[in-house]
Amino acid sequence: MADHGHFYWNELMTNDLEQAKAFYHDVLGWEFEAMPMQPEGTYWLVPGEPNPVCGMYEMTGTDFEGMSDHWLAYITVDDIDARVKLAKEAGATIMQGPFDVPEIGRIAMLREPGGAMIGWMTPAQSD
């Protein structure tokens, strides 16, 4: 598992995916690979070596109404369920409780007491 408490992943949450892809392609040379997610749509990976650089996701639906484009970082935690409980006790607002993403890990979204949004995840164990 990746080190507990370290930044692990970054993703762009955007209202205009095609515009964002064009921008990052034009200025950074990024290419994109589609990763279908049902029923949410398509998640876009930016390939890199040895691991992907980041991901992109188009915000659609009522959960994202009024939300502006933003980069979201994820921190690795050793036990997502226990850490989310501690975060709530420490004043965090749980935006989305722990959920599983097959082959990726267990993820939660929260807003820390100062208001910053952050993702936490316990990565899936690799063989």
CB-CB contact of 77 with 8 (8 Å): no
Stretch 53-58: mean pLDDT: 93
Residue 101 pairs in a beta bridge with 105
Predicted pLDDT of residue 55:
94
CA dist 76 and 118 (Å) reads 11
Q: Tell me the whole-structure pTM to 2 decimals.
A: 0.83
What pLDDT, in 10s, does the model give residues 94-106? 999 999 988 889 9
SS3 32: coil
Domain map of the chain by residue range? Answer: 10-70, 77-127
Residue with tokens 């409780």: 97
Percent of the chain with pLDDT over 90: 75
Higher-confidence residue of 21 and 51: namely 21
Domain 10-70 coded CATH 3.10.180.10: yes
Q: How far is CA 119 from CA 5, 30, 31, 59, in A?
A: 12, 23, 24, 16
Domains 10-70 and 77-127 share a fold: yes
What pLDDT, in 10s, does the model give residues 102-121? 888 999 999 999 999 999 99
H-state helical runs in the chain: 17-28, 80-89
Higher-confidence residue of 37 and 74: namely 74
Q: What is the mean pLDDT of the chain?
A: 91
Higher-confidence residue of 90 and 60: namely 90
Indicate whether 92 pLDDT > 90: yes
> Per CATH, which fold does 77-127 belong to?
2,3-Dihydroxybiphenyl 1,2-Dioxygenase; domain 1 (3.10.180)
Could you tell me which of 63, 64, 58, 59 has the C-alpha nearest to residue 21?
A: 58
